[in-house]
Amino acid sequence: MTSFSLSRSRVRRCLVLAGLVAVLAGCGFAPPTQEAVSTGPAGVVVSEPDPSSPYRGAELSSPYAMPDITLTATDGRPFDLVADTTKPVTVVFFGYTHCPDVCPLVMSDLTAAVLRLPADVRDQTQLLFVTTDPARDTPQALRRYLDRYSDDFVGLTGDRAEIVTAAKAMGVPIAGTTRLPSGGYDVSHGAQVIGFRGDKAPVVWTQGTPVDDLAADITTLAEL
């Protein structure tokens, strides 16, 4: 019995680490080594998987703090990540409107998860989409993009250095751009989603997390 439990624990830890590597590979980002994933500068450090964890996503050993940075919302107004995230639960995703594959999949899953929330939990939840491509993602472009999913989602742009700093504080890597034969470019970035309760984020969801798991964990955050 003990041998089986240890094996299962090791398998679950490998699955968590593998999932984080897959997330960091989103939109062309080169995956780091397993050691970098668990202790690297991006800050992606997870607890040993624990059956008693309240989350179905990856529980962080040290919750991320919401960075004290001000960006620009789609209505043109300043948006303070600390002062203006006034709902109990904040869900954050870094992406861009020209992203060809990963971002639309993640946004579709998040939209479906929000729709599955009980009405009272939905009222307590705010979703932030922070662009990793501020050169092209004007407030107007972001609003058009997000309205495909929900007009309640908050789009944020701003100075690229500030965006990179905010992303790093949440364990999300943003790398450079890759030129395309068409003349355009892709932006390499992590595709994980970060879940905050107040100004602390105890949970991260990898790309491909089932919609039911996202909805369950958002509900758990709301009930803390």
Name the nearest CA neighbour of 193 among 174, 208, 180, 175: 208
| pLDDT, average across residues 84-98 | 97
| pLDDT, average across residues 190-203 | 97
Lowest mean pLDDT, pick from 22-36, 41-55, 85-99, 171-185: 22-36
Q: Are strands 174-179 and 200-205 parallel, antiparallel or unpaired?
A: unpaired
| pLDDT, average across residues 42-62 | 72
Lowest mean pLDDT, pick from 40-49, 113-122, 172-181, 195-204: 40-49
**What is the structure's pLDDT at 167?**
97
| Nearest-angstrom CA–CA distance, 62 and 81 | 19
Token pair belonging to 35: 């050691």
| Nearest-angstrom CA–CA distance, 163 and 79 | 12
**What is the structure's pLDDT at 70?**
98
The phi and psi torsions of 90 (rounded to 5 degrees) equal -125, 130
Residue 179 pLDDT level (bands cut at 50, 70, 90): confident
Asked whether residue 22 carries a pLDDT value surpassing 50, the answer given is: no
Q: Are strands 78-80 and 89-95 parallel, antiparallel or unpaired?
A: unpaired
Instruction: Please check whether residue 173 is in contact with residue 29, taking contact to mean a CB–CB distance below 8 angstroms.
Output: yes
**What is the structure's pLDDT at 177?**
75
**What is the structure's pLDDT at 219?**
98
Residue 26 pLDDT level (bands cut at 50, 70, 90): very low
| pLDDT, average across residues 32-38 | 32
E strand map for the chain? 58-65, 70-73, 78-80, 89-95, 125-131, 154-157, 174-179, 185-189, 193-197, 200-205
Q: Which CATH architecture has domain 2-223?
A: 3-Layer(aba) Sandwich (3.40)
